Amino acid sequence: MALGYLLAVLATLASGSGSILESVGVRRAGAYGGRSLDLIALRRQWLYFLGLGVNLLGFACASAALHRLPLFLVQSMLAFSVGVTAMISALMGSHLRAPGWGALGVGATGLVLLGVSAEPGPAQALPPQWRWILVASAIPVAAIAVYARRHHHVRATVALAFGSGVAYGVVGISARTLHLPDEAWRLVLEPAAWSIVCNGLVAAVLFAMALQKGGPTGVTAIMFTTNTALSSFVGLVYLGDHVRDGYVTAATTGFVLAIAGAIAVAHYSADTRQEERTKTPAGLQV
């Protein structure tokens, strides 16, 4: 059980720090606020790919944690990785206002409540047809990108953020139900493995496109809420995730605090970045 909690913490730290590296890479490539095709310039930014590598390491830790802990706990911790990003930004010189630090405390309190209320254990197996449905779900979600490229209104941004949340949720569900075969090569025969790859790629692309079209606060809030709510619901209803007896109120309160804290941190971090861009000459921006 302790190993599961350790892996979840490592996944949160890796996700938060990887986001910092990716953000720096996007800005140095001049892709922020541009068109979808501008993301091609990222091929020359090694910091962006370092961030992707750190995020992949975090995903590996999260997948291992999901074999031991419920989805509602691990996904909430991953959502709170925005708090890790905010703290690293503060260490790098970005000023986070008092409400932002307060939001970090609220989110951390929620994670503690979730941690003590979660019942560790493996997930129930999904029927074969449902595992292939998880793979196929990447197709309609990916179609959102086609819609968004032809439309530039607010609904396109909301659709992209929602789609990325759904795809990330499916990745978590797939990782929770993934059966690791005795022989590594048999992993290519596992539908859950294909679902992780397909939906992970779709989620990353949609989230990047959403950040180009909309503000980070709204995009992050929609993505976090959709991802965590969807995967937690599926875990509790269909995968046998459990809350300890007598801890339902603590788990519910912790879930709300963790997600609200993550969204609030994203909000105050976005406000800080906007203020810094206003005060800093364009030629000095990183």
The DSSP annotation for 105-130 comes to HHHHHHHHHHHHHEE--PPPPPPHHH
- Give first-to-last CA distance, the chain, whole Å: 41
The token duo for 1 is 């059980």
Average pLDDT over residues 199-212: 85
The confidence score (pLDDT) of residue 284 equals 35
Give yes or no for residue 82 having a pLDDT over 60.
yes
Give yes or no for residue 283 having a pLDDT over 50.
no
Average pLDDT over residues 228-247: 90
The confidence score (pLDDT) of residue 273 equals 55
Residues in the chain: 286
The confidence score (pLDDT) of residue 274 equals 54
Whose tokens are 């503690």? That residue is 112
The confidence score (pLDDT) of residue 96 equals 74
* Contact of 171 with 195, CB cutoff 8 Å: yes
The token duo for 186 is 């048999």
Which of the two residues, 59 and 211, has the higher pLDDT score? Answer: 59
Confidence band for 43, pLDDT divided at 50, 70 and 90: low
Which of the two residues, 151 and 208, has the higher pLDDT score? Answer: 208
Which of the two residues, 278 and 119, has the higher pLDDT score? Answer: 119
The confidence score (pLDDT) of residue 22 equals 74
What mean pLDDT, rounded, does the chain reach? 81
Confidence band for 253, pLDDT divided at 50, 70 and 90: very high
CA-CA distance, 212 to 234, in Å (whole number)? Answer: 30
pLDDT tens profile 155-202: 888 888 899 999 999 999 999 988 877 777 777 888 989 999 999 999
The confidence score (pLDDT) of residue 281 equals 42
Give yes or no for residue 88 having a pLDDT over 90.
no
Which of the two residues, 274 and 25, has the higher pLDDT score? Answer: 25
Give yes or no for residue 209 having a pLDDT over 50.
yes
Which of the two residues, 197 and 284, has the higher pLDDT score? Answer: 197
**Overall pTM surpassing 0.85 (yes/no):** no
Domain ranges (residues) in the chain: 1-122+244-286, 124-240
Give yes or no for residue 285 having a pLDDT over 50.
no
Based on the number of CB atoms within 10 Å of its own CB, is 91 exposed (0-12), middle (13-18) or buried (19 or more)?
exposed
Amino acid at 115: G
